[in-house]
Chain A
Amino acid sequence: MMPAPLGMLLEMLLVTLLVAGCFAGARALSVRLGNPPWASPVLVAALVLGLGLAVTGVPLARFEAAARPLRWLLGPALVALALVIHGNLALLKRAPGPVLLAVTGGGVTGVASAWGLARLLGLDRVLMMAVTTKTISTPFAVVVARMGGASVALAAAVAVLTGVIGALSVPWLFDRLGIRGRAARGLGLGVSSHLVGTDWLTRRDPAGGAFAALAMVLTGVIAALMLPVLWPFLFG
């Protein structure tokens, strides 16, 4: 009886170290390249691992079973995100009403516009479900998708892609429209482009990045409370 569970434990340990190693390597590469939005470390690490699986012929199901401990840690890491809200609480207390209104309104716009556009363009139902979580930061999107029975892989990919697209396009839009306020820009980038956008802004303007970080986590919490209730109506 012993060998099977022990083998599974070793596989779990191996996969955890492998994924962590790939992620660390991809992060170092991104730093070397000057942190461009398109070199998202999670995307690069997933690409390397996906290619590795394809080349070695290891079935995806086996990898996913061995990655269970790592996926489970996402829950505790989400809990730890309270640290980000707490660290930027002063920004929220300065103007609680406007911040909460902007984040909630922006979040609702993100969900509704993605759902409506996807419907209009006739996207597949699986993709439609994935785009409704696009405006929330990837860890939240994964947890919400898991709960709602949507594809976790697509939700994660769409969320990361949204961050990359947003970091490349939202600052340009704000410049064109003359939106220069640090808080307005930070909140807008945080709600729409979550982690990649927040990272991008923090490197250029740490004070604006703090607004983005706060907006990113608040949007995740608000959407995680809202979407599981909303989904049966959108896709019932």
Chain B
Amino acid sequence: MRTVWESLPGVLLCCGLAVAGGALADALRLPVPGAILGLGLYLAWLVSGRGIGWSRPGAALLLRWLGAMIVPALVGLGGYLGLLAGALLPLLLVLLVSTLLTALVTALLYRLAGGVE
């Protein structure tokens, strides 16, 4: 029960910032998901270092269950099984080649830019 009370402020803060980010994006007609603006606001608050420690247990709790929040989207895949089965090989090829290329470009750019190891 204690962990629930510890987590509540952070969970509420993240919910509030997500809603605020959405409202901000709507008001300014920004083509940005509201939650991303909320993330930016929370990061700015964390960096400023002003009394935000109370939010950590709740934010960490949300992150621990992040996977569960993605599951409903994946269950919706049932409606696309035919489409996927018809294009499985080309799709896997696109994913494999593009993923290897992405990793390589990232690592090489870091080296070229003189990043320290």
Contact = CB atoms under 8 A, between A and B. Distances in A.
Interface of A: 19-20, 22-24, 27, 41-43, 45-46, 49-50, 53-54, 60, 63-64, 67, 70-71, 73-86, 89, 94-95, 97-99, 101-103, 105-107, 109-110, 113-114, 117-118, 121-124, 126-127, 131, 134-135, 138-140, 142-144, 146-147, 151-158, 160-162, 165-166, 169-170, 173-174, 177, 179, 181-185, 187-189, 191-193, 215, 221, 224-225, 228-229
A103 B41 CA distance: 21
Contacts of B114: 95, 98
B92 interface: yes
Interface residues of B, number: 75
A86 B39 CA distance: 11
Nearest to A229: B31
B43 A98 contact: no
Contacts, number: 319
Nearest to B73: A156
B106 A188 contact: yes
Nearest to B81: A50
Contact of A103 (B17, B42, B106): B106
B71 A187 contact: no
A105 B115 CA distance: 14
B116 interface: yes
A174 B18 CA distance: 38
11 contacts: A75-B19, A76-B38, A79-B38, A80-B62, A102-B115, A123-B94, A143-B33, A161-B95, A181-B110, A188-B107, A228-B31
Q: Is the interface of B mostly helix, strand, loop or mixed?
A: helix
Contacts of B17: 76, 79
Contact of A42 (B67, B92, B100): B67
Contact of A113 (B68, B70, B98, B111): B98
A68 to B, nearest CB: 9
Contacts of A131: 91, 94-95, 98
Given A42-B74, A193-B99, A83 B59 contact: yes
A144 B91 CA distance: 20
Contacts of A134: 95, 98-99
Nearest to B105: A109
